[in-house]
Structure 1
Amino acid sequence: MSLTPAFLDELRARTSLSALIGKTTKLTKAGREYKGCCPFHNEKSPSFYVNDDKGFYHCFGCSAHGDAIRWMTDQRGLPFMDAVKELAQAAGMDVPAPDKRSAERAEKAQSLHDVMAAAAEWFRAQLDGIEGAAARALLEKRGISDATKRAFGFGFAPDARGKLRAALKHFGDAMLIEAGLLISVENKEPYDRFRERLMIPIRDQRGRVIAFGGRIIGDGEPKYLNSPDTPLFDKGRTLYNLDRALPAARKADRVFVVEGYMDAIALAQAGIGEVVAPLGTALTEHQLERLWRIADVPTLCFDGDNAGQKAAIRAAHRALPLLAPARSLRFVTLPEGQDPDDLIRAKGAGAFEACVRESTHLVDRLWTHEVAAQALTTPEQRAGFRARMAELAKTIGDPVVRSEYQAEFRRRYDEQFGNQRRSFDRGRPFEPRQPFTPRRPGQKWTPPPPPVTEDAKALHAVGGIDRVLAKAVLAGLIRHPVEIARHMEVLGSLRMADGALGRLFEAVVDVALEDQELDSARLVTILGNSGFEAVARDLLRADRMPYSFTQPTGDVTRAREDLDEAIAILVAGPEVDAALADATVAMQTRFTDEAFERQVALLREKQALELRLANLVQSNEDARAFDSEDD
């Protein structure tokens, strides 16, 4: 079996070397690299370094050096082919089957590199010739210097159907077609793919030409034409200018993503070399993964027009499932109608850097986009907005990051729409309430049992429900008994309140469900006949509870909305407390970054609940001022 250089390069590119070595060797982050004690010799001070960008490890103590395959053969002791097969399986690649043509394919792949190198040289020669005058004028108009022209290998494809074919005829039509340089049409002679275009070589990470982009000279469509996918070129996995951007990115500790070749070239000419571009398509998952191997938070800088901003939000949505702790995106917003090339030529690198300083985080871009998507003045519009944000958060694969986004969305919603008294519910942020099932005549109400979960088991250990808030909710239900049926699926958690409070609650619910047209005065009278008159009237004293739903008069719509919110907080509180208790025990048992992040996230959720409750208070009085002792 003979494996092509292209296959082995792709295998190395798809393998995270630090993750591979980290399975058996403890590594810690050291700038853009990882370090640890060398597994090839005994040492006490770390001298073994792993560089994901360069794809190799090196020990400064014993000089052990290699890539992912070498690690598998030297450290794991596997034969070469076994090492390749194991890495390929982990990377989701198929190892070429052994056959007599393997060597021929390997030779062909190398020959394709020769073809592309020859084509690049021929295009460069045409740019400097008589026919290249219009292309040279275009470069001059775009402000491209001679040094930049040489560095990026600009060329020109004449307006002819067979000049390139004739110049490279020694490679043969079949190879030129496979390289994407000729177009093959049935029953006709192959002809040159690129004609009357400014040619821009596309290189792989090692700097080898693998494809071309061609910009039309004058009018015509498409404006830009890329090579098709070939054995050397996979458009969805390739980033333009990656070979030149990597050293600059390591030095600057940042990387920018722009829309097109000319944007990347203009920024590089202005001294900002850490720039790459996708190739005429939206950013793919493979390209995002490659960017995160360069920088934890790449910065996307798409055009300031409507199409550019749509591309930015598509990239944001595509990134969500791939997020991980410390791994995200930032977004630069350019002046409307401008791209980086326009901005650089008009105002220089300083103007671009000024935009970079105003860049926004991924969460900000998502929030701003959804807020602007439609009016949010009605309850239905706000409900739709909440649903959209919930769905976005659900797409995040990493549970810690997902929890952080859910908490952040809740916090922002409370801040922005607090006057509408709307908020997110923890855990099930936007799920609709279950429909109420009427009881049979004479059937006594039995509250639904709480879910048998670890959180539920821990409720009593952390104090159960908030009795002060429970009193307020019960007073609200007495004031507005028609609301009881709407909350049946969550009111069962109030059964955990013992003593007079729990008994009164069950009596209130039972009486209200017996007569769903019951008003507050009639409910109090019935409760009085059952021996609850004193405690019910005490709960209804308006001066004891500073909530809209406990007052005898006021805006009924607001009171009902506030009661909805109070019930949501009442139910969510024990869940957060229980989860926080578990997280605290986990931290005390064994400290890990994941346990710490979980505890921090839950503390934030608890603070968010407290803020939501404070927002319900009608005056400056403390929501906890009224008596919290059992009646």
Structure 2
Amino acid sequence: MAGLIPQHFIDDLLTRVDIVDIVDSSVALKKAGRDFKACCPFHDEKSPSFTVSQNKQFYHCFGCGAHGTAISFLMDYNGLDFIEAVEELASRAGVEVPREEGDFNKTKDNSELYELMELVVQHFCRQLRESPEAHRAVDYLKQRGLSGELAREFELGFAPPGWDILLNALGTSDAAEQRLAEIGMTLEKDNGGYYDRFRDRIIFPIRDQRGRAIGFGGRVFDDSLPKYLNSPETPIFHKGRELYGLFQARHQLKDMDRIYIVEGYMDVLALVQHGIRNAVASLGTAVTENHLERLFRTSPQIIFCFDGDSAGQKAAWRSMDIALPLLKEGRQVHFMFMPDGEDPDTYVQKHGREKFEDSSNYVPLSNYLIDKFKQETRLDSREGMGQLVDGIVPLVGKLPSGALRELLIKDIAKLADMNIDSLKNLVERKQEAPANKTQAQHLVSTNQFNKEHSTLIANAISFLLQNPELGVVIEPGALSDIETQGVEFLRELLGLVHKQPEISCAGILEHWRDSKYENRLKQLSIKDNLLTEPEDINRAFQEIFEKIKHDHQRQQHNIKLQKLDIKNPEEARNIIGLASAHNSEE
């Protein structure tokens, strides 16, 4: 879950920081009883419903449901990914982020590489001003309608023709040459030595969300190939995570109700030149899940801008497939297809900002999905409708549960002249039928037990989330003989508390980030037990624990009863000794 960052470091880091300080540096908090309150930074509201708990070390909004730890806040508010958020938090705490053993035996310090990248940016910018060949680059940028102000903001540069101009400027030693190669700026010759990667190109520096230069794109002036050349993967540059223009967009715009994804650097710059600053581009790769998650942390609506040709349609289909599982409540994806022969650059130059931002040009993902299948299947026969359903059901099944999924199922059922419930069964792959039970087996309902048992487990976990120290007094093997649902996780949680007695609620939540338990833990962490005195809290927790063990014993009796398969309930009670227990409870 934590990648190369050791989990124990993350747990310890959360004990070193105070979430109140982290949130208050971005959102003005006011004391409200034991907690702190503010108007939620993640949705518009007039009355504060955003609460930060210093005791539990997490935040929760009762309006929109935003919830998380100090790490989550940096991810959601600043648009950082998990690794970046941990690094930022560690920086504020004054500690270095270690790495687990494996590919890295010790912490890799990339600070020198970032510093070198800044020198490279300055070099290319200087070449655009001073190189004898710079007029070609300047004329090209003017021809494309870009202003000098925009070129300065995005730090556009120029790599003059020549095999060693950058190398001579910054590769002043063997170690410097090796570092230039490490950040992808030079290539090694077959007979030894190095030469410049970027030659005779307009240069586009790429910055991550923290503003650090991490890579470059280069474009030729004519139709020679390759038209675009990008930095390779390096220790600080990963194409599948980064987006061109996102740093500048977030720097200029605090809130973005939508964000455009285009294909090239020049598309981004043309849109920004026309006042459309909420535009980004992928870096010569197809859009990834990581890209979309990062953008959804910035804006609730993503608009893909593609050419209208077959290549654009294929790219749109791939993007839709990636986006489907990410469409939680409140998230939207639309598509905008350019007319033949145009791209976002030429389109906005020709039609202007107002036409580009006209939402009537956008196709909602759900419409695109259904229309695509309607175009490719014949709906005038049962076979055609069956083909549509067979093709579309796996895609709808990727959507998270919610309104969009329900509405899509309704529309598809109508289109295919099919019962909604039958279609839901196909989507949700419901295959199991309930098993028959005898009257005696119904004496103690397994379903009822599971429901009550789950409630007890949930209460125990909730108590531990709010008061982790409660778990220290419970023997680690106290539940070793119980294998019912939920107990395995409860044992894991108790083991974590025993291993790290100082762990906070936030530490527990982070420990299970991105696991199947994450959402349920978030729900339980905001549940209040209404008890304030330590003695009462401890007593209530012990009672829950004893009830879990007692109910397990009763369930074992029920299992024996099922195996006996006795038809008469009274006879069953007498055989397994439940009659006296039943009477005593009454």
Counterpart in the other structure of 2:243: 239
**CA contact under 8 A between 1:236 and 1:284: conserved in structure 2?**
yes
**CA contact under 8 A between 2:256 and 2:299: conserved in structure 1?**
no
Counterpart in the other structure of 1:428: 425
Counterpart in the other structure of 1:360: 363
Distance change in 2, residues 1:362/1:125 (3 Å):
same
**CA contact under 8 A between 2:373 and 2:388: conserved in structure 1?**
yes
How much has 1:155 moved relative to structure 2?
1.3
Matches within 5 A, 1:111-122: 111-122=112-123
User: After superposition, what is the alpha-carbon deviation per residue over 1:213-242, rounded to whole angstroms, capped at 9, x for unaligned?
Assistant: 001121311111100011111110001111
Matches within 5 A, 1:523-534: none
Matches within 5 A, 1:158-169: 158-169=160-171
Counterpart in the other structure of 2:126: 125
Counterpart in the other structure of 2:142: 140
How much has 1:165 moved relative to structure 2?
1.0
**CA contact under 8 A between 1:198 and 1:214: conserved in structure 2?**
yes
Matches within 5 A, 1:522-561: none
Tell me the distance in 2 between the aligned counterparts of 1:384 and 1:173. 59
For 2:316, the aligned partner's letter is: A
Tell me the distance in 1 between the aligned counterparts of 2:276 and 2:436. 54
Tell me the distance in 2 between the aligned counterparts of 1:453 and 1:406. 32
How much has 1:291 moved relative to structure 2?
0.7
Counterpart in the other structure of 2:260: 256
For 2:151, the aligned partner's letter is: K
Counterpart in the other structure of 1:381: 384
Tell me the distance in 2 between the aligned counterparts of 1:40 and 1:451. 45
Tell me the distance in 2 between the aligned counterparts of 1:292 and 1:343. 26
Counterpart in the other structure of 2:544: none
Tell me the distance in 1 between the aligned counterparts of 2:226 and 2:153. 26
Tell me the distance in 1 between the aligned counterparts of 2:194 and 2:396. 51
**CA contact under 8 A between 2:206 and 2:214: conserved in structure 1?**
yes
Tell me the distance in 2 between the aligned counterparts of 1:71 and 1:453. 55
Counterpart in the other structure of 2:398: 395
How much has 1:336 moved relative to structure 2?
3.3
Tell me the distance in 2 between the aligned counterparts of 1:273 and 1:67. 25
How much has 1:37 moved relative to structure 2?
3.7
For 2:40, the aligned partner's letter is: A
For 1:182, the aligned partner's letter is: T
How much has 1:113 moved relative to structure 2?
1.8
Distance change in 2, residues 1:341/1:424 (3 Å):
farther
For 1:344, the aligned partner's letter is: V
**CA contact under 8 A between 2:230 and 2:283: conserved in structure 1?**
yes
Counterpart in the other structure of 2:51: 36
Counterpart in the other structure of 1:369: 372
How much has 1:295 moved relative to structure 2?
1.4
Matched residue of 1:332: which SS? strand
Counterpart in the other structure of 1:149: 151
Q: CA RMSD in A?
A: 4.5
How much has 1:245 moved relative to structure 2?
0.9
How much has 1:289 moved relative to structure 2?
0.9
Tell me the distance in 1 between the aligned counterparts of 2:208 and 2:340. 33
Counterpart in the other structure of 2:435: 452
Counterpart in the other structure of 1:409: 408
Moved more, 310-319 or 330-339: 330-339
Matches within 5 A, 1:569-608: none
1:311 aligns to 2:319 (yes or no) = no
Distance change in 2, residues 1:26/1:185 (3 Å):
farther
1:226 aligns to 2:230 (yes or no) = yes
Counterpart in the other structure of 2:284: 280
Distance change in 2, residues 1:247/1:369 (3 Å):
farther
How much has 1:123 moved relative to structure 2?
1.6
Tell me the distance in 2 between the aligned counterparts of 1:41 and 1:329. 35
Distance change in 2, residues 1:183/1:97 (3 Å):
closer
How much has 1:118 moved relative to structure 2?
1.8
Matched residue of 1:198: which SS? strand
Distance change in 2, residues 1:431/1:382 (3 Å):
farther
Tell me the distance in 1 between the aligned counterparts of 2:154 and 2:387. 49
**CA contact under 8 A between 1:216 and 1:223: conserved in structure 2?**
yes
Matched residue of 2:307: which SS? coil
Tell me the distance in 2 between the aligned counterparts of 1:151 and 1:291. 22
Tell me the distance in 1 between the aligned counterparts of 2:79 and 2:151. 32
Tell me the distance in 2 between the aligned counterparts of 1:292 and 1:431. 26
Moved more, 406-415 or 297-306: 406-415
**CA contact under 8 A between 2:36 and 2:53: conserved in structure 1?**
no
**CA contact under 8 A between 2:377 and 2:385: conserved in structure 1?**
no
Counterpart in the other structure of 1:214: 218
Matched residue of 2:337: which SS? coil
Larger Rg: 1
Distance change in 2, residues 1:167/1:323 (3 Å):
same
Higher relative contact order (CA 8 A, sep 6+): 2
How much has 1:164 moved relative to structure 2?
1.4
Matches within 5 A, 1:321-332: 321-332=325-336
Tell me the distance in 2 between the aligned counterparts of 1:271 and 1:453. 67
What TM-score does the superposition give when structure 2 sets the normalisation length?
Answer: 0.58
Tell me the distance in 2 between the aligned counterparts of 1:40 and 1:450. 46
For 1:372, the aligned partner's letter is: Q
**CA contact under 8 A between 1:297 and 1:329: conserved in structure 2?**
yes
For 1:320, the aligned partner's letter is: L
Tell me the distance in 2 between the aligned counterparts of 1:201 and 1:412. 46
Tell me the distance in 2 between the aligned counterparts of 1:264 and 1:453. 63
How much has 1:36 moved relative to structure 2?
1.0
Tell me the distance in 2 between the aligned counterparts of 1:31 and 1:431. 35
Question: Any gaps of 5 or more consecutive residues in structure 1?
Answer: 58-65, 435-448, 459-589, 593-631
How much has 1:335 moved relative to structure 2?
2.6
Tell me the distance in 1 between the aligned counterparts of 2:219 and 2:275. 24
**CA contact under 8 A between 2:397 and 2:427: conserved in structure 1?**
no
Tell me the distance in 1 between the aligned counterparts of 2:185 and 2:94. 39
Tell me the distance in 1 between the aligned counterparts of 2:380 and 2:421. 17
Tell me the distance in 2 between the aligned counterparts of 1:70 and 1:196. 37
Distance change in 2, residues 1:27/1:358 (3 Å):
farther
Identity %: 32
Tell me the distance in 2 between the aligned counterparts of 1:269 and 1:255. 16
How much has 1:168 moved relative to structure 2?
1.3
User: After superposition, what is the alpha-carbon deviation per residue over 1:364-423, rounded to whole angstroms, capped at 9, x for unaligned?
Assistant: 221122222344443323211111111112223x3x23xx555433422344454xx787
Matched residue of 1:371: which SS? helix
Counterpart in the other structure of 2:270: 266
**CA contact under 8 A between 1:250 and 1:294: conserved in structure 2?**
no
Counterpart in the other structure of 1:110: 111
**CA contact under 8 A between 1:259 and 1:303: conserved in structure 2?**
no
Matched residue of 2:172: which SS? helix
User: After superposition, what is the alpha-carbon deviation per residue over 1:448-484, rounded to whole angstroms, capped at 9, x for unaligned?
Assistant: x963399xx99xxxxxxxxxxxxxxxxxxxxxxxxxx
Distance change in 2, residues 1:25/1:98 (3 Å):
farther
**CA contact under 8 A between 1:410 and 1:424: conserved in structure 2?**
no
**CA contact under 8 A between 2:257 and 2:300: conserved in structure 1?**
no
Tell me the distance in 1 between the aligned counterparts of 2:393 and 2:79. 41
Distance change in 2, residues 1:384/1:32 (3 Å):
same
Matches within 5 A, 1:290-305: 290-305=294-309
How much has 1:126 moved relative to structure 2?
2.2
Tell me the distance in 2 between the aligned counterparts of 1:69 and 1:190. 33
User: After superposition, what is the alpha-carbon deviation per residue over 1:254-312, rounded to whole angstroms, capped at 9, x for unaligned?
Assistant: 32211111111111111111111111111111111101110122222223333223212
For 1:210, the aligned partner's letter is: I
Tell me the distance in 1 between the aligned counterparts of 2:384 and 2:37. 49
